[in-house]
């Protein structure tokens, strides 16, 4: 089974990719989207948004990271993809799935699914602009407001030259509300000749098995489920995999805190660790106590003192 780690804007950045891939079970990651508008980005911007480019396009644990581009101008996307290709990415992914209103208002992400001809033009322009051996993949949803263009959009992406397609099993209008309609992905699999990866609402190994059965996909992409349960990829791979205990996870939370401190302004650090703790509450009772202790705090010194200092903290006690 192929297990990918999803891009999650504002949460699953290079620091969290680093920590989650240390735990293992992930075959490949996709970066947060790099927004392309009307200009050619300098190399330093790509390196800032995807620091793994400076290390062979891999996390410190050695897991490959594919760079994701978002935009609607085929020529500008192609120019930026060509420059990005010189930095040695594992591959280039195209975002046709983002449901954010701000992105959609500026003609990016899932709103483009209403324009299959444009999708094919974008994929084709990027495919022609980069070396033949460099993978070009894409991610889409089932549609924008509805599924009317679902199959046409998928065919357009495949016909443009994409080598792989990840499908989030909801429309943009459905956002992240459960359920995910994994059975719809089966129709896309039948419509295209490229590998299709299923994504959406996979929180447990049982979800992954049901998703595979309904979609027919051998591979899955994990998003919030892997953030809420960092041991999920291993659990999907083997029912005999040991559970990731809170005592094992707590030092990794401290590592994550140290990583975000290197590149994030102090006023934003507390928000990031609270985001992760909030999701971890689904899996770990200890995370509920930790989240409650820092929920109203924004001072990083106080947050660090509560979470990572004092007797018993390293063992996960008193949280």
Mean pLDDT (whole number) for 30-53:
97
Q: What per-residue confidence (pLDDT) applies to 101?
A: 87
Using the predicted structure, report yes or no on whether residue 315 has a pLDDT greater than 80. no
Supply the range of the domain harboring residue 206: 3-237
Does one domain contain both 162 and 259?
no
Does one domain contain both 227 and 305?
no
Q: What per-residue confidence (pLDDT) applies to 198?
A: 98
* Per-residue pLDDT tens over the stretch 245-301: 999 999 999 999 999 999 999 999 999 999 999 999 999 999 999 999 999 999 999
Of the candidates 189, 208, 237, which is a domain's last residue?
237
Exposure b/e, 116-129, CB count within 10 A at least 16 = b? bebbbbbbbbbbeb
User: What is the pTM for the complete model shown?
Assistant: 0.94
Of the candidates 237, 261, 290, which is a domain's last residue?
237
User: What is the three-class DSSP state of 187?
Assistant: helix
Using the predicted structure, report yes or no on whether residue 28 has a pLDDT greater than 80. yes
Does one domain contain both 60 and 129?
yes
* Per-residue pLDDT tens over the stretch 212-252: 999 999 999 999 999 999 999 999 999 888 899 999 999 99
Residues 204, 243: Cα–Cα separation, whole Å: 12
Does one domain contain both 225 and 196?
yes
CB 221 within 8 A of CB 199: yes
Does one domain contain both 45 and 186?
yes
Q: What per-residue confidence (pLDDT) applies to 262?
A: 92
CATH number of the domain where residue 64 is located? 3.20.20.70
Does one domain contain both 165 and 274?
no
Using the predicted structure, report yes or no on whether residue 19 has a pLDDT greater than 70. yes
Does one domain contain both 189 and 260?
no
Which are the catalytic amino acids? Answer: 98
What is the per-residue DSSP string for 75-128?
Answer: HHHHHHHHHHHTT--S-EEEEE----HHHHHTT-GGGGGG-HHHHHHHHHHHHH
Using the predicted structure, report yes or no on whether residue 318 has a pLDDT greater than 90. no
Using the predicted structure, report yes or no on whether residue 201 has a pLDDT greater than 60. yes
Q: What per-residue confidence (pLDDT) applies to 240?
A: 87
Does one domain contain both 157 and 66?
yes
pLDDT classification of 319: cutoffs 50, 70, 90: very low
Structural domain count, the chain: 2
Does one domain contain both 250 and 213?
no
Does one domain contain both 16 and 48?
yes
CB atoms within 10 A of CB 282: 15
Residues 317, 319: Cα–Cα separation, whole Å: 5
pLDDT classification of 313: cutoffs 50, 70, 90: low
Q: What per-residue confidence (pLDDT) applies to 310?
A: 55
Of the candidates 215, 237, 259, which is a domain's last residue?
237
* Per-residue pLDDT tens over the stretch 92-125: 999 999 999 889 888 899 999 999 999 999 999 9
Does one domain contain both 95 and 181?
yes
Does one domain contain both 22 and 106?
yes
Packing angle of the helix pair 300-308, 285-294 (nearest 10 deg): 150
* Per-residue pLDDT tens over the stretch 134-146: 999 999 999 999 9
Using the predicted structure, report yes or no on whether residue 54 has a pLDDT greater than 70. yes
């Amino acid at each position: 089974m192929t297990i990918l780690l999803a891009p999650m804007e504002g949460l699953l950045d290079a620091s969290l990719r680093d920590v989650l891939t240390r735990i293992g079970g992930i075959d490949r990651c996709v970066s947060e989207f790099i927004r392309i508008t009307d200009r050619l980005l300098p190399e330093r911007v790509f390196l800032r948004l995807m620091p793994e480019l400076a290390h062979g396009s891999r996390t410190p644990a050695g897991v490959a990271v594919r760079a994701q581009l978002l935009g609607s101008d085929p020529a500008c996307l192609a120019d930026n993809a060509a420059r990005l290709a010189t930095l040695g990415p594992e591959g280039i992914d195209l975002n046709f799935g983002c449901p954010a209103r701000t992105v959609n208002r500026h003609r990016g992400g899932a709103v483009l699914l209403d324009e299959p001809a444009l999708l094919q033009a974008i994929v084709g322009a990027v495919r022609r602009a980069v070396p033949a051996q460099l993978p070009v993949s894409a991610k889409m949803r089932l549609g924008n407001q509805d599924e009317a263009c679902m199959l046409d959009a998928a065919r357009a992406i495949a016909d443009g030259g994409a080598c792989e397609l990840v499908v989030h099993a909801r429309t943009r209008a459905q956002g992240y509300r459960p359920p995910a309609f994994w059975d719809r992905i089966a129709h896309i699999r039948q419509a295209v000749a490229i590998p299709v990866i299923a994504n959406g609402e996979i929180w447990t190994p049982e979800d992954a098995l049901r998703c595979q059965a309904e979609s027919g996909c051998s591979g899955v992409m994990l998003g919030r489920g892997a953030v809420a349960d960092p041991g999920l990829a291993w659990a999907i791979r083997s029912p005999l995999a040991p559970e990731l205990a809170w005592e094992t996870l707590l030092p990794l939370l401290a590592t994550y805190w140290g990583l975000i401190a290197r590149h994030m302004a102090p006023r934003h650090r507390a928000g990031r660790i609270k985001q992760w703790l909030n999701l971890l509450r689904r899996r770990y009772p200890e995370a509920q106590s930790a989240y409650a202790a820092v929920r109203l705090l924004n001072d990083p010194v106080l947050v660090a003192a509560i979470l990572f200092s004092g007797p018993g903290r390293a063992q996960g006690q008193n949280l």
